[in-house]
Structure 1
Amino acid sequence: MSRSHFPPDFVWGVAAASYQIEGAAYEGLKGPSVWDEFVKKEGAIANRDTGDTACDHFHRYEEDVAIMSELGYPVYRLSINWPRVIPTGTGKVYTEGLDFYDRLIDTLLAKNITPYVTLFHWEYPQALQEKGGWLNPDSPKWFAEFTQVIVDKLSDRVHNWITINEPQCFLVLGHYDGVHAPGLKMPVKDILAMAHHVFIAHGEAVKVIRSSARTKPHIGLAMVGSTFIPFTDTPEDIEAARQALFGFHGRSEGLWSAGLWFDPMLLGKYPEAYYRAYGDQIPDIRPEDLQTMAQPIDFLGLNIYTSPQVRKGPGGQPEIVPYKTGMPRAHNGWPVTPKSLYWGPRFYYERYKLPIYITENGLANQDWVSLDGKVHDPQRIDYLRRYLLELDRAIADGVNVKGYLQWSILDNFEWAEGYDKRFGLIYVDFETQKRTVKDSARWYANVIKTNGEALFEGI
Structure 2
Amino acid sequence: MPFSRGDFGADFHWGAAAAAYQTEGAWQHQGKGPSIWDDFTRRKGTIRRNEHGRVAADFYNRYETDLDLAQGIGLTDFRFSAAWARVLPAGTGSVNRRGLDFYDRLVDACLERDLRPWLTLYHWDLPSALQAQGGWTNRNIVGWFADYAQVMARRLGDRVQHWAVLNEPMVFVGAGHLLGVHAPGRRHLGAFLSAAHHATLAQAEGGRALRAELPDTAQIGTTFSCSYLTPHRPGNPKDEAATRRADAILNRFYVEPALGLGYPLAELPALRWLLERYQKPGDDQRMAFDFDFWGVQNYTREVVKFSPWLPLQWAALVPAKQRGVPYTDMGWEVFPESIYQMLKQFSAYPNAPKLLVTESGSAFPDVSTGGRVHDPARRAYLQAAIGQVLRAQREGVDVGGYFSWSLTDNFEWAEGYGPRFGLIHIDYETQERTVKDSGLWYQDFLGGATVTAGLSHGQDALTRR
Structures share fold, TM-score greater than 0.5: yes
Partner of 1:248: 245
8 Å contact from structure 1 (residues 410, 424) kept in 2: yes
CA distance, structure 1, for counterparts of residue 318 and residue 210 of structure 2? 44
Instruction: Identify the match of residue 273 of structure 1 among 266, 271, 278.
Output: 266
In the TM superposition, what is the alpha-carbon distance from 1:454 to its structure 2 partner? 2.9
CA distance, structure 1, for counterparts of residue 194 and residue 305 of structure 2? 33
CA distance, structure 2, for counterparts of residue 392 and residue 152 of structure 1? 36
> Cα gap change, 1:449/1:328 in structure 2, threshold over 3 Å: closer, same or farther?
same
8 Å contact from structure 1 (residues 228, 344) kept in 2: no
SS state at 1:185 partner? coil
SS state at 2:368 partner? coil
1:163-242 map, 5 Å: 163-187=165-189, 189-213=190-214, 216-229=217-230
Matched, 1:418 2:425: no
CA distance, structure 2, for counterparts of residue 298 and residue 214 of structure 1? 12
8 Å contact from structure 1 (residues 341, 387) kept in 2: yes
SS state at 1:369 partner? strand
CA distance, structure 2, for counterparts of residue 346 and residue 325 of structure 1? 25
Partner of 2:437: 439
8 Å contact from structure 1 (residues 229, 340) kept in 2: no
Partner of 2:366: 367
In the TM superposition, what is the alpha-carbon distance from 1:202 to its structure 2 partner? 1.4
> Cα gap change, 1:403/1:229 in structure 2, threshold over 3 Å: closer, same or farther?
farther
> Cα gap change, 1:325/1:224 in structure 2, threshold over 3 Å: closer, same or farther?
closer
In the TM superposition, what is the alpha-carbon distance from 1:211 to its structure 2 partner? 1.1
SS state at 2:361 partner? coil
Instruction: Identify the match of residue 38 of structure 2 among 36, 42, 46.
Output: 36
Question: Aligned pairs, how many?
Answer: 443
In the TM superposition, what is the alpha-carbon distance from 1:203 to its structure 2 partner? 1.3
> Cα gap change, 1:26/1:310 in structure 2, threshold over 3 Å: closer, same or farther?
closer
CA distance, structure 1, for counterparts of residue 173 and residue 353 of structure 2? 24
CA distance, structure 1, for counterparts of residue 240 and residue 224 of structure 2? 17
Partner of 1:55: 57
CA distance, structure 1, for counterparts of residue 133 and residue 196 of structure 2? 17
In the TM superposition, what is the alpha-carbon distance from 1:30 to its structure 2 partner? 0.7
> Cα gap change, 1:241/1:406 in structure 2, threshold over 3 Å: closer, same or farther?
farther
SS state at 1:295 partner? coil
Instruction: Identify the match of residue 386 of structure 2 among 365, 373, 388.
Output: 388
> Cα gap change, 1:191/1:310 in structure 2, threshold over 3 Å: closer, same or farther?
closer
Instruction: Identify the match of residue 97 of structure 1 among 96, 99, 124.
Output: 99
Instruction: Identify the match of residue 256 of structure 2 among 255, 258, 263.
Output: 263
Partner of 1:146: 148
8 Å contact from structure 1 (residues 359, 405) kept in 2: yes
8 Å contact from structure 1 (residues 302, 356) kept in 2: yes
Instruction: Output one character per residue of 1:205-247: Cα deviation in whole Å (capped at 9) or x when no partner.
Output: 1111111127511111111022225899xxx98x9999766x3
CA distance, structure 1, for counterparts of residue 144 and residue 42 of structure 2? 26
CA distance, structure 2, for counterparts of residue 270 and residue 361 of structure 1? 26
8 Å contact from structure 1 (residues 65, 108) kept in 2: yes
SS state at 2:364 partner? coil
Partner of 1:405: 403
8 Å contact from structure 1 (residues 165, 222) kept in 2: yes
CA distance, structure 1, for counterparts of residue 22 and residue 33 of structure 2? 16
- The residue type paired with residue 407 of structure 1 is W
In the TM superposition, what is the alpha-carbon distance from 1:355 to its structure 2 partner? 1.5
CA distance, structure 1, for counterparts of residue 260 and residue 240 of structure 2? 17
Partner of 2:349: 351
Unaligned segments of structure 2, at least 5 residues: 307-313, 455-459
In the TM superposition, what is the alpha-carbon distance from 1:14 to its structure 2 partner? 0.2
In the TM superposition, what is the alpha-carbon distance from 1:301 to its structure 2 partner? 0.7
SS state at 2:349 partner? helix
Using the size of structure 2 for normalisation, the TM-score is 0.88
CA distance, structure 1, for counterparts of residue 299 and residue 284 of structure 2? 30
Partner of 1:76: 78
In the TM superposition, what is the alpha-carbon distance from 1:387 to its structure 2 partner? 1.8
In the TM superposition, what is the alpha-carbon distance from 1:82 to its structure 2 partner? 0.2
CA distance, structure 1, for counterparts of residue 240 and residue 111 of structure 2? 41
In the TM superposition, what is the alpha-carbon distance from 1:40 to its structure 2 partner? 0.3
CA distance, structure 2, for counterparts of residue 397 and residue 240 of structure 1? 32
SS state at 2:374 partner? coil
8 Å contact from structure 2 (residues 23, 56) kept in 1: yes
CA distance, structure 1, for counterparts of residue 451 and residue 113 of structure 2? 24
In the TM superposition, what is the alpha-carbon distance from 1:103 to its structure 2 partner? 0.1
- The residue type paired with residue 451 of structure 2 is A
Q: Which moved more, 1:213-222 or 1:413-422?
A: 213-222
- The residue type paired with residue 418 of structure 1 is G
Partner of 2:164: 162
- The residue type paired with residue 286 of structure 2 is T
SS state at 2:373 partner? coil
Partner of 1:454: 451
Q: Which moved more, 1:343-352 or 1:433-442?
A: 343-352
Instruction: Identify the match of residue 299 of structure 1 among 274, 288, 293.
Output: 293
CA distance, structure 2, for counterparts of residue 318 and residue 414 of structure 1? 26
Using the size of structure 1 for normalisation, the TM-score is 0.90
Q: Which moved more, 1:349-358 or 1:420-429?
A: 349-358
CA distance, structure 1, for counterparts of residue 170 and residue 450 of structure 2? 35
CA distance, structure 2, for counterparts of residue 448 and residue 330 of structure 1? 25
In the TM superposition, what is the alpha-carbon distance from 1:310 to its structure 2 partner? 6.7
Instruction: Output one character per residue of 1:356-378: Cα deviation in whole Å (capped at 9) or x when no partner.
Output: 111111011111421x1110111
CA distance, structure 2, for counterparts of residue 378 and residue 277 of structure 1? 46
